[in-house]
Structure 1
Amino acid sequence: MIKLISTLALAYGASFFFISKTIGVNGFFGDLIAAHPFIILSIYALVVAHVTITAMSLSFHRYHTHKGVIINKWVDMPMQVWLWMVTSLSKVDWVSVHIWHHAHSDQEKDPHSPLQKGLVHALFLGVFDYTRAKSWPEVMKIKKTIPTNKLEKFMFNNSFTGPIILTGLMMVMFGPLWGGLVSILNFLVSPIFAIGGVNALAHWWGYRNHVTTDNSRNLGFLLPLNFIICGELDHNNHHAHMRSCSFRHRWFEFDIGFFYLKMLNKFKLAELKNVYSPATLKEEFSQKFAELIEKDHRFKKRCEELAAELNLNYQDLKLKIEAYWRGEKVKLEKSVRVFMREVRRTYMANQRLKLSYAHA
């Protein structure tokens, strides 16, 4: 490590001297940053964070790990190269660790669970756990199953070559001082927003649409942050339906990543394979609420009483209720709507308490 740091310091010193003596201490565009450093660097940090996490979400996550979408290679490979240059990450490493994370989510073997390691550790030191997890024997076995082309193999075998190339370009564009600072901002994107942000915050706090075996949560209501990290904060939705390339399951949720995929699909640059939507969630809730009415004798009896009061068959009333829950335009009396709210409250309480009904 000391030898590596010494080599990098020597290379930086030589680059500083060469660039400052040729194109100037501020490179081609460094004067702009020097004039407005806080504004320009803040804008740059937000833009590069969104571009980088979007590439990670669409390529590494939704395509190569979960196969919810197939992205054209002329779109996918530039995203992979960008990720390699900005973060040093390769498809092989990222996908293998993420598969392992899902297999052991919030359990002892999860490399970045705030329940196991604490929120502060997962948030700020998760990158070191990720780095260690890449060399675990079990993760190494997963790596062998991941298909790669020649360029992907090169990026996997030369992980730090990408950031070195990008740092050189940044120094030429903005000069040694500002270029070095911009390169640090580049390299911090993944630890802060992806490894730390998503895996720490979205496994700690938020609401849940689905019952899962882990503590995944939705934080999409933090809209500016969720936009920057490409919709990844609706994490409970993702853990419940991993193969879906859309993380938006309710009408008020927003997944900018799925919007990008729909645009790519429109231009035949991506093929959507699996999409879980708000309509799918309504259908799922409709079935679960109907099951709850059948299994809870109080609700079944009340539903039969309502049907009698309205001169309806019990099954017909239940079908109308299911249609209403699916979002169809069905007119229901106030007494039925009150009953439905009670069923929903009970269902959500059962979810929180992890209660279920024994089969008859």
Structure 2
Amino acid sequence: MKTQADQAPPSAGSNARPASQVSATLGGEKQGLPERLALGAFIAVPFLALLAAVPVAWGWGLGWRDLAITTVMYFTTCHGITVGFHRFFTHRSFKAGRVLKIAMAVAGSLAVEGPVVRWVADHRKHHKFSDQSGDPHSPWRYGESVPALLKGLWWAHMGWLFDSEQTPQHIYAPDLVKDRDIRTVSRLFWLWTSISMLLPPLVGGLASWSWQGALTAFFWGSLVRVALLHHVTWSINSICHAIGERPFRSRDRSGNVWWLAVLSCGESWHNLHHADPTSARHGVLRGQLDSSARLIRWFEQAGWARDVRWPNAGRIDARRVA
């Protein structure tokens, strides 16, 4: 049964469409057993590869070629999520033309975190009910005792992905449902997943001209890279809503976790983000690295992005904790 939270999201207005009109967008609103088993397998296999990374590296090493492929794929797909799925599609922190819009949708899809429309709908619902009833992935879901928080951290990190009730996309992301380009990218998620997993071994095999080069590139550039990015992204949902500094006022428990900043491409400066969700920069204080904001700045300088919502001193000071 859908909760009342699902029935009254922000800015749905007259754009909301019946679910029957958008059922092909992202696999519908409910997950069946096959989909949940597939999701579990896709999480488990890369995670096991990540656990095996240390003994594999100890046994026969991690070469510069594999490191380069993994690094390029990681930060390309990470910025596809942070700049594209999050700051552009979810929060509209800037405007972009059609080519950049599609490129960001594809780059984010290569992260294998789900089709763009579903991702955005989930995140918009999270912001509407952050750390309250209705939040899809709050670590405080079960209470504040230690056992409850441990259970909540598991839920916020990855347990929520198995929830059979899915966020209604036609209600929480009506703008994307109406966008023909984004509907197409979203429905082709299977294609972007295949490319994401097969591109590293293709490059590694051609660069080394060997099957071994393809195999090691698949291990590091596909399995390990996807697992690492998944857990970094999920850590924003779990860790950054349980611990961290909170220099800005927000209506939830979002915190800044500095040691996740580089791997999360600036997303772990999470307290400012929840205090000012449409800001194109999350790391606004001295020394807070935010590569996603830097990339948006480059897009702006190249004329590809416009009307960027950069934070100014007044907006920052107005949100500081007294």
Whether TM-score is above 0.5 comes out as yes
Mapped partners of 1:177, 1:124: distance in 2: 33
SS at match of 2:249: coil
Identity of aligned residues (%): 19
Q: Which of 254, 259, 283 lines up with 1:216 in the alignment?
A: 254
Normalised TM-score (structure 2) = 0.67
Q: Which runs of 5+ in 2 are unaligned?
A: 1-33, 42-58, 143-148, 206-210
1:183 counterpart residue number: 222
Change over 3 Å in CA distance of 1:251–1:37 after alignment to 2: closer
2:232 counterpart residue number: 193
SS at match of 1:268: coil
Change over 3 Å in CA distance of 1:150–1:138 after alignment to 2: closer
Q: Which runs of 5+ in 1 are unaligned?
A: 9-33, 286-346, 349-360
Change over 3 Å in CA distance of 1:122–1:80 after alignment to 2: farther
Mapped partners of 1:120, 1:106: distance in 2: 15
User: Which region of structure 1 is more displaced relative to structure 2, 138-147 or 66-75?
Assistant: 138-147
Q: Which of 234, 240, 248 lines up with 1:202 in the alignment?
A: 240
Paired residue type of 1:112: H
Change over 3 Å in CA distance of 1:160–1:254 after alignment to 2: same
Q: Does 1:270 align with 2:295?
A: no
Q: Say whether the 8 Å CA contact 1:246–1:277 is kept in structure 2.
A: no
1:163 counterpart residue number: 193
Change over 3 Å in CA distance of 1:54–1:199 after alignment to 2: same
Q: 1 or 2 for the larger relative contact order (CA 8 Å, sep ≥6)?
A: 2
Q: Does 1:85 align with 2:110?
A: yes
2:18 counterpart residue number: none
Q: Does 1:130 align with 2:161?
A: yes
Quote the offset at 1:85 in angstroms: 3.1
Q: Say whether the 8 Å CA contact 1:54–1:230 is kept in structure 2.
A: yes
Q: Deviations over 1:53-75 (max 9, x none)?
A: 21211111111111121123322
Q: Deviations over 1:36-85 (max 9, x none)?
A: 43665455444433222212111111111111211233223223212223
Q: Which of 65, 82, 85 lines up with 1:60 in the alignment?
A: 85
Query: Which entry has the higher C-alpha Rg, 1 or 2?
Result: 1
User: CA RMSD for the aligned pairs?
Assistant: 3.2
Quote the offset at 1:261 in angstroms: 1.3
Mapped partners of 1:85, 1:255: distance in 2: 21
Q: Say whether the 8 Å CA contact 2:130–2:252 is kept in structure 1.
A: yes
Change over 3 Å in CA distance of 1:98–1:137 after alignment to 2: closer
Mapped partners of 2:299, 2:202: distance in 1: 33
Mapped partners of 1:81, 1:241: distance in 2: 26
Q: Say whether the 8 Å CA contact 2:279–2:309 is kept in structure 1.
A: yes
Mapped partners of 2:225, 2:181: distance in 1: 22
Paired residue type of 2:303: K
SS at match of 1:146: helix
Q: Say whether the 8 Å CA contact 2:157–2:235 is kept in structure 1.
A: no
Quote the offset at 1:87 in angstroms: 0.9
Change over 3 Å in CA distance of 1:282–1:165 after alignment to 2: closer
Mapped partners of 2:167, 2:199: distance in 1: 36
Q: Say whether the 8 Å CA contact 1:68–1:243 is kept in structure 2.
A: yes
Change over 3 Å in CA distance of 1:268–1:123 after alignment to 2: farther
Mapped partners of 1:160, 1:208: distance in 2: 39
Quote the offset at 1:125 in angstroms: 7.0
Mapped partners of 1:214, 1:234: distance in 2: 14
Q: Say whether the 8 Å CA contact 1:52–1:189 is kept in structure 2.
A: no
SS at match of 2:135: coil
Quote the offset at 1:126 in angstroms: 2.9
Alignment of 1:5-154 (within 5 A): 36-37=61-62, 40-42=65-67, 44-87=69-112, 89-116=114-141, 118=149, 122=153, 126-130=157-161, 132=163, 135-136=165-166, 138-139=168-169, 141-154=171-184
Quote the offset at 1:208 in angstroms: 1.1
